Structure 1
């Protein structure tokens, strides 16, 4: 929190004022999981003011988190052998209702559960496959169950690069429920991001989307940090249970976590920005 900053130090006080100015003027980035891009854009703008010589190298370091423009969504069918899939389903069914978190019901119409042991094991086992499909060496990040029910929807958004690669596995469903992806697009800048929120009509993005349909034990590999994606509301009374296995490029832990940027790049001004950002903006999704 910025209360911990020593504002009696003139240099820190100056950085604090610059950070406040940048964040007050930073428009947009109002969709689910947009805080990484907001921090990246704010960091570039702050460095342009207080340390312009560092901007080019800072920006270039993130090229590894951008996705090749010719990448196409990969459909894997089936993902698992029948016995393996049934074992995974049994562990999901064994979860007590109180273990599920319903904090995303209002926005997504879903219950979630992070780090199911069987999913963690599966995620590690599938790392070579994901590396092959992604065309680069990856390492597991986080995973969770996403149990959509009546009223379920997925607003248009791009993910943070901690989920540069997502293996989306269908566990069970009441009906086919398409997910729609754009082609690979550049990360939006502040001006472009200002037009997007969780309530944006995808048609207003001016992007062509392609439908993909999953069935149980089928998976899609996509690059959510460089592809807009969304689902319309699930049909009344329907459900769709999914497992999301997220991966990022190997060796990029310091890049996907903005709290590490100050140390990673030797830029203490970014520590001030990070503290002010977290105090001014809602907690990241």
Structure 2
């Protein structure tokens, strides 16, 4: 039940961040907005861990992995994916990012030698095909020009970086480093790194933005960063990255649902097919093999008993 709650919270929050990000664009440079987001998140995380008097002293090697976590999950991955969207539609970027599921499966096998159940591969393929179906009209219009190819490669690179960050989180959990402590250090290093990047770039720190920008920023910092990352990394620890990362392909479902409510999105046949494939894949990934085997065994027994002797 705990993992189910973490799963649902992660999907609902990160699925809604697509709408919140719309209020971030056009007012402040992307890298500055990311700095604000992770600076606020880091401050909140540190206030929490200090108030709870959680242990925060770690070895130099662990701090090296905190820096990697910051780079891969709280900084570089976001920058690269934002750069990719200069060349790609949000739909194509979403499809590229859904490849995180397959990348996590492969990296879990490579880095930790963990055998992956066949149903995970089946569910992953269904999920990716479901996302492709969901955005099929945009895929048909996709022109593989030089700019689009650059965007696609950037999106895949950003996704791969995020997958490496997931592996770092799993490593930290295996070292018995608490999710909250690891995130507090990672977000602090991320804020420092992003501040340095902004100062070296042409971007400027600015506070001139409408109220909607700041409201969405605090939503992204508190819910989309502090709460969602804590839930997601806890899932990585509890059920493994190959299963936890299926939340990635569920985000667009929430985004489409919100778009239906707030942006008059009209459902087409491809929308229903995409939803169905993603949900089927999700059920396959999250259902233990023993239950699947028991289900088919029960069905076979029923059919056998139904045959007249």
- TM-score, length-scaled by structure 1: 0.25
Bigger proportion of residues as helix:
2
Task: With a CA cutoff of 8 Å and minimum separation of 6, indicate the structure with the bigger relative contact order.
Answer: 2
- TM-score, length-scaled by structure 2: 0.23
Bigger proportion of residues as strand:
1
